[in-house]
Every structure is written in structure tokens, then in C-alpha cells.
Amino acid sequence: MTASAAGTKLTLRLPDDFHHHVRDGPKTAAVLKFASQRFGRCLMMPNTKPPIVSTELAIQYKQHITKAMPEGCTMEPIMTLYLTDNTSPEEIQKAHKEFGKYVACKYYPAGATTNSDAGVTDVKNLYPVIEEMQKVGMMLCIHSEVTHGDIFEREPAFLEEIMKPLVAKFPNLKITMEHISTKEAVDYVLASSDNMKASITCHHLLYNRNNLLVGGIRPHLYCLPILKAEKHRLALVEAATSGSNKFFLGTDSAPHSTDTKEAACGCAGVFTAHAAVELYAEAFDEAGKLEHLEAFCSSNGADHYGLPRNTKTITLEKKSWTVPSSFDFGDGKSVTPLRAGEEVLWSLV
């Protein structure tokens, strides 16, 4: 392991998170306080209950998020529309007119992950919508997994069955493959045009499926896409830390109450907002590539989304701290964070 000396400080342009879940109701304020300390902007996921399927609902959700932010917070929410089989091209026009570059659309294959039952059953149902998105320059964010076959092979299958035909039909569409988790996805993104880029989570950089399963199931590491074999984790680390502008920060921080994770049928999602940038620093430090951390966290994503880079900065220090065992979830329940009761090696100053 290549590591920087303890006490080293690192100042970065303020990062953005292009994949973040803040849920709804009182839970939003409970989890927003962590993101607001670390990010200039967050792309807000729309798989709430009910999902954000229209411009009107996106306006309401943005208002809710803004009201839930800590006093003095300047973090900007970027909204997403939840695509369904019934989304219309007119809705895309309406959203683009309302939000401009501060909007994207999220494609969940129906049943692929949390609150995705209302998602898309056949990508061809979306072709008129995607054509309009391509026309106005709107980003398509994709949960890139099919819903059939071996759970460890669903991302590569999506590339063949959905992604390649989609890109061939809409070559000018701006696409983010979110939370990629396999070497196949890394290779595909690297071979694609500049319209196609990918976000990578800190938990997919730091953990593999052994961490999830060996010695007993660890429900707070259960996510979708599921953690993969070590060869895939290493491919993700190489991609993220390489300096390539094809990859950027997207935490997919996805809080669930502890009781719904530690259940007979536990839900998918890893809560990382409390230490996200610090955990990315761990991964880059271990790879000996801290010099590429700022571009990955603070430039590549903003450039891909056509947004100005942040001008503020944050400072990290190579100083370990112990993560609390739980945090308040705002609804009378608790949420268990990644590394609960364990150390994180970098701190936010």
C-alpha cells in the first residue's frame, strides 16, 4: 500500500456528487447535512415515494430539498426526472425550459433497484423521449443493469442488450452510466465517444464481494449494482485514479433505516454521505494517485454535465477518526453508515 504521511493536508476544489439520494419527508434534512459539508452540487435521485415523474413534482421536490438544507448552505440541487413508459417528449421540453442544465433524466429498468417498480419496461418505449433529450442536450443517467440472469452479470448483459443499440440509434445523446461496477463497463466507457462517461462510488472502489459475504452477510454493504469480484474492483480503481476525464464522483449514497437493512429481505443501498470525499481519498491514497483526486471529484463531472467548476475549496487531512455506530434518520429511526464503529483514514478539516 502506498500511503501519504499522517497529518498530510490536501486542498481540493469543492467536489460535486452526481448521484445522491436524500429521500423525502423529515429524512431529507437528516441526511442533507452531510452532503452540504462536502459538495457544491448534488444530482438528486428521483426514486422517492411517489417518484419524481414530472416537472411539477421536480419543482416541489427541489423546494422541499432547499427548505431542508442547513442554515447558510449554498449547495445546489440538480434535479432528475424519473422516466417511465408514459413519459412524453413534451415533459422533456417542459423540464428543460424550467431547469435548463440543472436537470437530467434517470432511466431505471423496472424492478432493478430500490423504488424502481415504476421504471421502464422496454427501452424502445422511451425512444421518442430520448430523441427529444438528444435534441435539447439533456443528460440521460442510467442504472445500467438488466433485471434477469445472474446478479453478478447484469451490468455486462445491459451493455450488450440495451446500451450498444441505444448508443447506435442516438449517437449524440449525452449519457452517464451510473455507479459502474465491472471491468466490462470500464472498457466500454473508455472505448466510447466523449458523450459517454461514468460515475463510480467510493464503496465499489474500496470493497469487493468477499467483504459482503465472507464470514457472514454484511447487510450494510449490500447495494445494487452488487459488489463484484476483486478483478472488477481493481479495474474501477485503475479507471478512477488514472486521470482520465471519463470517470467522476457519484456516491450513490443511499440511506435506509437500520431495521430495513437488517431484515430477512434487506433493501439495497449504502450510506456514505457522512464520509464520502474522505473515503474517495482513501482509495486514491492507497493507489498512490492522490494527484488525480481533485479532477475525479471536482472537475470531470461538472465538465460532463456542462456546469461551471466550483470556485470554493475544501481541505482534507490524513487523520483517522471513528465513524459513529448510527445517525438519526429524521423519522424516529436510525441509519447505519458505512464503516460504523470503524476508522476512516482521512478527515474533513
Q: Which of the residues are catalytic?
A: 252
Q: Are 185 and 162 in contact (CB under 8 A)?
A: no
Of 346, 291, 293, the closest CA to residue 317 belongs to 346
Nearby residues of 142 by Cβ (< 8 Å), 6 or more positions away = 106, 107, 163, 175, 176, 177, 178
Tell how many helices (H) and how many strands (E) occur in the chain.
14, 15
**72 Ramachandran zone, left/alpha/beta (phi>0; psi -120 to 50):** left
Element (H, E) at 6: none
Q: For residues 175 and 32, what is the distance between their CA atoms, to the nearest angstrom?
A: 26
> Cα dist. 177→104, 121, 189, 237 in Å?
13, 18, 8, 16
Q: Are 167 and 138 in contact (CB under 8 A)?
A: no
Q: Which amino acid makes up residue 327? A: F
Query: Would you state the cell numbers that stand for residue 302, as one nine-digit string?
Result: 461538472
Q: Give the 3-state secondary structure of residue 313.
A: strand
* DSSP states along 233-250: HHHHHHHHHS--TTEEE-
